Structure 1
Amino acid sequence: MTIKLLAIGKTDNKQLASLIDDYKKRLGFYIKFKLEIIPDIKQSKNLSEVQQKDKEGTLILNKLTPTDVLILLDENGKQHDSVSFSSYLQKHMNSGIKQLVFVIGGPYGFSEAIYKKAQGKISLSKMTFSHQMIRLFFIEQLYRGFTILKNEPYHHR
């Protein structure tokens, strides 16, 4: 199985980008992982929130294959602790899917088309974080989840 993380907009902060790269490399020991950045919408100031979400939604849908399982990182999603998230990952790996796709939306969230296509929603916290930081937090939690599944000491340092 491959895990893909789709995110809108690049990471401007060099320290965050460096940490994200570090965890991407670590994840490579456990699973095939891809981080794919969808460029910000050009001239978004001229668009309504709904128009921007729809345009981003189209770009997200264009990155999916028919067999992908789509999970949204959404403030209204189910919250997990790290151990239950590792079980969630294991369940998806056991199901035989080819690619599990997690998506971090744009500044206004997701379009209706994306909500309809999604097979699940996960919330990392009730707090609001920058979309750039969410990338780091989520990739770190993926890594932590795999170390839990492999019974490695990282989770209890």
Structure 2
Amino acid sequence: MHLTILSVGKIKEKYAKQGVDEYAKRLSRYCQLQFIEVPDEKAPENLSPAEEEQVKQREGEQLLKKISDHQHVIALAIDGKQHSSEELAHHLHQLGLTGKSNVVFIIGGSLGLAEAVLKRANEKISFSPMTFPHQLMKVLLLEQIYRAFRINRNEPYHK
């Protein structure tokens, strides 16, 4: 399986970078993993709703340029479907069985994802109704993907 983590912005915090590196190393025995980051747009806190949409649109355009037609796209969005770890493991397994083994997970920036990106996504998943920093979300996503591979191989870790 080939997995791409496509995200807005670079990881700046040392602890988050260490977490990403650790799970990337662990996942290397289960899949091909690629990281693609697009620059985040400047978004001061006093933006109008229209300006927020413009920022998301510009980030969205950059994200969409990095996706090919044959990739299965999973957007991380608050209104997406929530899965247990076992359900996510089963879902990833099913994607592989049905020939959708080139999967892109998209993590948006501080304002979320543009509507065009959400429309391109084959599905949306949510980890929680809470909002998380995108740097931390990358670590959480990788941990759950790693857990999914361990579950699917009946290897200890997930309990």
Short-chain TM bin: over 0.9
Q: CA deviation at 1:83?
A: 0.4
How well do the aligned residues superpose, as a CA RMSD in angstroms?
1.4
Q: Which residue of 2 aligns with 1:140?
A: 143
Tell me which stretches of 4 or more aligned residues in structure 1 moved more than 6 Å: none
2:52 corresponds in structure 1 to 49
Match of 1:21 in 2: 21
The answer on whether the counterparts of 2:82 and 2:126 sit within 8 Å (CA) in structure 1 is yes
* Structure-1 residue corresponding to 2:66: 63
Q: Deviations for 1:33-92, whole angstroms, at most 9, x for unmatched residues?
A: 112111222x44488111011101100110011111111000000001100000010011
The aligned length equals: 155
2:95 is the alignment partner of 1:92: yes
Q: 1:113 aligns to what?
A: 116
Instruction: Using structure 1 for the length normalisation, give the TM-score.
Output: 0.93
**Displacement after TM superposition at 1:98 (Å):** 4.5
Which residue identity lines up with residue 145 of structure 2 in the other structure? L
Q: Contact (CA 8 Å) 2:71, 2:102: kept in 1 or not?
A: yes
Alignment correspondent of 2:38: 38
Separation in structure 1 between the aligned mates of residue 101 and residue 150 of structure 2, nearest angstrom: 21
Q: Does 1:10 align with 2:7?
A: no
The residue number in structure 1 matching 2:106 is 103
What letter corresponds to residue 69 of structure 1 in structure 2?
H
State the alpha-carbon separation in 2 of the partners of residues 98 and 76 from structure 1: 24
Are the equivalent residues in 2 in contact too, given 1:67–1:98 (CA < 8 A)?
A: no
Cα deviation for residue 153 of structure 1 reads 0.5
2:23/2:146 contact within 8 Å kept: yes
**Percent identity between the two aligned chains:** 38
Equivalent position amino acid for 1:137 in 2? L
Please, what TM-score do these two structures have when normalized by structure 2?
A: 0.92
Task: Name which of structure 1's ranges 8-17 and 142-151 shifts more when overlaid on structure 2.
Answer: 8-17
